């Protein structure tokens, strides 16, 4: 029994020494900070956190200048380059754009009208023509995308065609027919409200120098896919149901900022 007791006591003593040694090493490697220092550090940390939260909740006002510009004119060279890459997608292109004299292009106005007529663009321009800064933007053009142009557009107001043809009461649709047979029908009131023009000149030059072809329909606040080109006939009719509004039901990335104008068309 004595031997057993001695071994037990010796083991306990060794364990005590080891624990004491370990404690000394820990104390040397990780010195214990004074309680007052801990409290001060905690308090400072709390103040810093509170300040950070306050700043995040009440950010200081940032002053600056925000500007936007829709009057910068796109050069005809740039327009031509853009259309050569996206000719089947941008601004209502047709399969084969005829190169002709746009002023001698003949345009017929027919349908439910009292005075159907056919005349050259030159003849109509002598009676009524407008010029304004307008934009042509692809409906699928993303934010900061390049599928948009702004130009000085000159052309025949569609309202002139309607008035000269004497549209019948109740007429509610207008169809633009291109040289390739493409027909695009839209609500008559919509086209009138969008200051539509059949352009024959862009930036002081024939359309062949920019978008191509001889004429092109331009409207405000309308996706460029409806900008029909090389129009040979405008048909005004009275339909049982008013045609759908261009782009209705479509979701465009930059809607409703498509086909906008920088100045009202007189």
Range from 24-38, 80-94, 149-163, 242-256 carrying the lowest mean pLDDT: 24-38
Query: Can you identify the CATH homologous superfamily of domain 76-237?
Result: Oxidoreductase, molybdopterin-binding domain (3.90.420.10)
The DSSP bridge pattern shows strands 216-218 and 148-157 to be unpaired
Contacts of 119 (CB under 8 A, 6+ apart): 106, 107
Spans of all domains in the chain: 76-237
pTM, rounded to two decimals: 0.66
Mark out the alpha helices in 86-217 (DSSP H runs): 121-127, 158-165, 188-193
Q: What is the mean pLDDT of the chain?
A: 75
pLDDT tens digits along 171-225: 999 999 999 999 999 999 999 999 999 999 999 998 888 888 899 999 988 888 8
Q: How far is CA 160 from the centre of its chain?
A: 31
What do you get for the CA distance between the two ends of the chain, in Å? 120
- Please give the helix or strand (H or E) that residue 176 lies within, else none: strand 173-178
């Amino acid at each position: 029994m004595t031997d057993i007791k001695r071994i037990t006591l010796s083991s306990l003593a060794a364990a005590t020494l080891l624990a004491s040694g370990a404690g000394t090493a820990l104390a040397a490697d990780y010195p214990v900070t004074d309680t007052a220092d801990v409290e001060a550090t905690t308090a400072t940390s709390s103040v810093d956190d509170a300040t950070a939260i306050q700043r995040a909740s009440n950010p200081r006002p940032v002053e600056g200048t925000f500007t936007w510009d829709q009057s910068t004119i796109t050069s005809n060279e740039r327009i031509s380059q853009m259309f050569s890459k996206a000719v089947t997608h941008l601004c209502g292109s047709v399969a084969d754009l005829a190169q002709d004299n746009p002023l001698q292009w003949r345009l017929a106005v027919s349908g439910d009208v009292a005075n159907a007529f056919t005349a050259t663009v030159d003849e109509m321009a002598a009676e009524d023509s407008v010029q304004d800064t307008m934009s042509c933007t692809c409906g699928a053009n993303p934010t900061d995308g390049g599928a948009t142009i702004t130009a000085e557009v000159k052309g025949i107001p569609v309202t002139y065609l309607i008035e000269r043809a004497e549209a019948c009461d109740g007429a509610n649709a207008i169809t633009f027919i291109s040289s390739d047979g493409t027909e695009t029908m839209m609500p008559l009131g919509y086209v009138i409200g969008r200051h539509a023009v059949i352009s024959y000149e862009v930036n002081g030059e024939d359309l062949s120098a920019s978008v191509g072809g001889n004429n092109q329909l331009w409207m405000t606040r309308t996706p460029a896919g409806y900008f029909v080109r090389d129009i040979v006939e405008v048909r005004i009719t009275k339909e049982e149901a008013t045609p759908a509004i261009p782009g209705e039901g479509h979701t465009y990335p930059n809607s409703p900022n498509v086909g906008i104008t920088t100045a009202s068309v007189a």
